[in-house]
Structure 1
Amino acid sequence: MEKGMHEKAAVVSLGCAKNLVDSEVLAAQVQRLGYEVTAEASQAALIVVNTCGFLESAVQEAVDHLLEMARYKEEGSCRHLVAVGCMVQRYGRKLVSLLPEVDLFLGTSHYHRFADLFQKFIQLGTPKIFLQRPGYFYHGGITRIPSTPAHWAYVKIAEGCRHRCSFCLIPALRGPSRSRTVEDVVTEVRHLAEAGVVEVNLIAQDTTAFGTDRGEPDALCRLLEALEDISGLHWVRLLYTSPFGVSDELLRTMAASSKVVPYLDIPFQHCVPRILEAMHRRGKSLRPVELIERIRNHLPDVALRTSLMVGFPGETEADFQELCRFVTDVRFNHMGVFAFSAEKGCRAARLADPVAEEIKQARRDMLMALQQRISRDNLRRLIGHRVPILVEGLHSETEFLAVGRLPTQAPEVDGCVLIVEGEAVAGDIMQAEILKTHDYDLEARLLPLRPGASEPSFENARAPFGGRGKI
């Protein structure tokens, strides 16, 4: 069933950055079928929605998107609508009758087999759903079509999760932890750098678990060391790091690197030992404050991102106040806050002493307001400093501003730098002077490089990046 290039297909990606990599694999699969990949679903004959199923709210978002896309079957050019991913893995065959608008359902094991399975469905009309136990994981031999800007990319280094947090469905949806080899990741990053990528963001359900399933506990450190030798690559960022896996060896490797940016994304979830234990997050052994002290001893100017959960069953007002003190003392650079959701199939959904919904939302709002003030104060320290900026391109809302990011700002989830003066090309790493700050964003002017000067590195400007508070 070879399609002419005049027929188009759209891939809609929902959820996290890890899902986005899988959506890029899906895009390559639909292109293999002969479709032209488009961002305009209204023009597509085939629409593929890569769903998230982590929370009920994400499931509802996926359903809403599918129903919205189904309109194009009636009013537009769409002939086939396909749902893929975590929501399908979570609800399985129930979806066939619940969403008759969808022609085909695929779970989380079929991203790289989409072309073959879609052709089989077209030829036979059945089955309408393909499900099996999670076993797929992305590797360098699987083709994907990048959807991120040409100068940066996500690189998925592992799939699945080894942890069994009581509030999380990821192990059921994605399976146990499965890592790529160091050599496979290095080969992919080298190819990306040759294509013009200057920043890679390493992702997994838990990047610090990389290699442990293969009996290689030092694999992440070896990977970071190997990436040092790749020409053209300037920034390497670690996302989704587990607090249980941040070792002294990892911190020493980061400190010695010229390319790993001073940034760690660590989802602490909470700070109260009793709550952490109920979450099955090693509450008796994990001491968040001690870990942060250890991180900052190795990386004095590290930027820390975290995610926290409020309203977990049994969380008292005293527990919440302790969490607020923790945030005030640590002064995270970036933070997300989520209200606990009792997801069916999770052990935490069966716990006694639930927190009322209005209290959960109030606590979330209070914690985010606190973080807003902290972020504003942290960023003010940068005014007048000269820092390196990765130029992203023109602002999405106006052609009169360009935007960029500091090494301590991850793409898509953190703030940005508004470039109000100077000229550069997207992908350039330029020196800039910070002129003004807002709650989460900054304003800067680009500085011209002196003749013969090398590109600025974050080593030249680490001191202002701290935002470090008392512990």
Structure 2
Amino acid sequence: MCAAIMATKFPEAPKVGMVSLGCPKNLVDSERILTKLRSDGYQMSADYAGADVVLVNTCGFLDSAKEESLEAIGEAIAENGRVIVTGCMGDEADLIRAKFPQVLAVTGAHQYEQVVNAVHDASPPIPNAFVDLVPEGGLKLTPRHYSYLKISEGCNHRCSFCIIPSIRGDLVSRRIDAVLREAEKLVAAGTRELLVISQDTSAYGVDTRHEPRMWKGREVRAHMTDMARELGQLRTLDGRAPWVRLHYVYPYPHVDQVIPLMADGLLTPYLDIPFQHAAPSVLKAMKRPANEAKVLDRIHKWRAICPDITIRSTFVVGFPGETEADFQYLLDWLDEAQLDRVGAFRFEPVEGAAANDLPGAVPEAVKEDRYQRIMEKTAAISAAKLQAKVGRTLPVILDEVGEPDDEDGSIGATARSQADAPEIDGNVFLRDVGEGRQAGDMIDVLIEDADEHDLYGVPL
């Protein structure tokens, strides 16, 4: 008679919830934190009710972002009660604790070990040697088909409106072989679009004097141009070149060297450059490079080399001391630059920023008026540029595929062209994509229509 075999019942792992706010760099931090917790045996919870502890990764760049972070902390406490705060607002622990004394712990930006230890203290892990807890490449908070690739932390600039260096410190670059190894693994795991991010992508490797490392049998420098060239050699499982998109690029002279790589199809023809303004007096007050005329000349040369290049940027309106003449200078500069994608925000005094002490505060009503005018200007430029694409065939990547329509069974999809970074730019809305398509597919489409920000088309 056989003895009864008792099935081993493993104890249930503690669950962690995550609220991630702010920029893509914060999102990468959240992914790293969750990957480490997953390797320690924790499960992830999709809601407050199922979590043993909730992490709130905060943003502290602007006062409005801080308010959003405080609201998120309050919501997490109300819905769950066991909350750990990390991220950029970690430097304001006294403020957070004064408003929310129930918070279990507060840690700063990219303090991975401290936040993981805080989770261990709040809800100790349960060791289980029989379960493989971490998928290859770690955990992702983005869809499978695109991934953020963080190449450095911190910034050496001291822009008068920014407190990022005081939060995240000076530039610290990752080893080039580590960056390329991570990119290779991401592409092998299904990533079809890499979004390169940092506080200053152009300065990558400056802190290490562009230290070279061996990669694939040859030396490669920790330098933006070398990195871009190597990323251009990657191939997806079906032999395609993944889209490689450069974000937070300061227009240093060596940026000119990556434009031919875009023309040759090794890099996505897209540059995200935070110009912030164009008027020389405002740029000087911001402590930004004041070479707007030379930048215009370079933009024209970039377009001559790579006609399909997309240039996106952000601008601040209502900066202290900005006159109507300065603002008009910016509008005229935008007419000349014809940037493809533009975001703008009204200046906000942020605690700790040097700009707060500058004379010439701009009234809120004037800020709002200038904000509306710059958005009207850039929307008109965008609409004209997108209208010029009607009738063209463009490659797109599918982000979401809908269900068949009840009436005729047609299937729609939301996609992006090479001119569109996820979450911040426009979309390409498709009709009649057919069955069998899924997120991450790269297809060619005919553009049929356009508006101020988006394109509309049909697969070929």
Band the TM-score falls in, shorter-chain normalisation: 0.7 to 0.9
Match of 1:215 in 2: 209
Report 1:437-452 matches (<5 A).
437-447=450-460
Alignment CA distance shift 1:176-1:263 (3 Å):
same
Deviation at 1:33, TM superposition (A): 4.4
SS at 2:431 equivalent: strand
SS at 1:43 equivalent: coil
Alignment CA distance shift 1:121-1:392 (3 Å):
closer
Match of 1:203 in 2: 197
Structure 2: state its 5+ residue gaps. 1-9, 125-135, 211-220
Deviation at 1:328, TM superposition (A): 2.1
Alignment CA distance shift 1:289-1:365 (3 Å):
same
Does structure 2 retain, via aligned residues, the 8 Å contact 1:32–1:115? no
Does structure 1 retain, via aligned residues, the 8 Å contact 2:398–2:439? yes
SS at 2:252 equivalent: helix
Deviation at 1:246, TM superposition (A): 5.1
2:337 counterpart (330, 341, 346): 330
Deviation at 1:113, TM superposition (A): 4.4
Does structure 2 retain, via aligned residues, the 8 Å contact 1:5–1:35? no
2:416 counterpart (405, 410, 429): 405
Deviation at 1:365, TM superposition (A): 1.3
Structure 1: state its 5+ residue gaps. 73-77, 124-141, 448-471
SS at 2:268 equivalent: strand
SS at 1:433 equivalent: strand
Q: Does 1:152 align with 2:146?
A: yes
Deviation at 1:422, TM superposition (A): 2.0
Q: Deviations over 1:163-205 (max 9, x none)?
A: 1101100100000011112211111111111111111010001
Match of 1:230 in 2: 234
Q: TM-score, normalised by structure 1?
A: 0.84
1:427 counterpart (420, 435, 440): 440
Deviation at 1:384, TM superposition (A): 1.1
Report 1:16-415 matches (<5 A).
16-72=23-79, 78-89=80-91, 91-120=92-121, 144-216=138-210, 219-232=223-236, 233-244=241-252, 247-256=255-264, 258-283=265-290, 287-394=294-401, 400-415=411-426
Please give the alpha-carbon distance, in whole angstroms, between the structure 2 residues aligned to 1:342 and 1:97: 22
Does structure 2 retain, via aligned residues, the 8 Å contact 1:221–1:253? no
Match of 2:18 in 1: 11
Deviation at 1:325, TM superposition (A): 1.3
Please give the alpha-carbon distance, in whole angstroms, between the structure 2 residues aligned to 1:88 and 1:178: 19
Deviation at 1:102, TM superposition (A): 1.5
Q: TM-score, normalised by structure 2?
A: 0.86
Please give the alpha-carbon distance, in whole angstroms, between the structure 2 residues aligned to 1:64 and 1:246: 42
User: Identity of aligned pairs, percent?
Assistant: 34
Q: Deviations over 1:340-378 (max 9, x none)?
A: 111221111100111001111111111112211211111
Match of 2:214 in 1: none
The one-letter amino acid paired with 2:440 is G
Please give the alpha-carbon distance, in whole angstroms, between the structure 1 residues aligned to 2:262 and 2:396: 20
Deviation at 1:97, TM superposition (A): 2.4
**Alignment coverage as a number of residue pairs:** 420
Please give the alpha-carbon distance, in whole angstroms, between the structure 2 residues aligned to 1:422 and 1:394: 8
Please give the alpha-carbon distance, in whole angstroms, between the structure 2 residues aligned to 1:44 and 1:379: 45
Say what the alpha-carbon RMSD is for the aligned residues: 2.3
Q: Larger Rg: 1 or 2?
A: 2
Does structure 2 retain, via aligned residues, the 8 Å contact 1:252–1:298? yes
Please give the alpha-carbon distance, in whole angstroms, between the structure 1 residues aligned to 2:67 and 2:429: 34
Does structure 1 retain, via aligned residues, the 8 Å contact 2:175–2:222? no
